[in-house]
Amino acid sequence: MKILFRQSSCQLNTDDSLELQKVTIREELLKVRRALEDAYCGFDNVTNPDLIDCYIYELNAVMKRYKFLLEEASRVNLIPKETFDETYNALTLIN
């Protein structure tokens, strides 16, 4: 099996690259939001202790990904920093 590598570099200008990042982050945020809704729905509908633990871990994992994506969105000026803080804090669970 041969592995082929591109000889010439394919470079986007910085504006195109930034727009591509913004679109990707928006799409990923939508996916994470759906995953979060699914995890909460699953958590609300289970009674088995093992499945409850499973959904707690899933919620924590999705929340970490969501926080990362919000930080990236803030970094590329997709959302203001104040909005990041408000959005993330509204979704975190209160102990």
Residue 51 placed within a domain: yes
The domain in which residue 63 lies consists of 32-91
8 A C-beta contact, residue 55 and residue 46: yes
Contacts of 44 (CB under 8 A, 6+ apart): none
Number of domain units in the chain: 1
Residue 41 placed within a domain: yes
> What's the pLDDT at 1?
46
Residue 57 placed within a domain: yes
Give per-10-residue mean pLDDT for the chain (95 aa). 52 72 89 94 94 95 92 84 64 48
- pTM for the full predicted model: 0.69
> What's the pLDDT at 36?
93
> What's the pLDDT at 87?
63
Residue 84 placed within a domain: yes
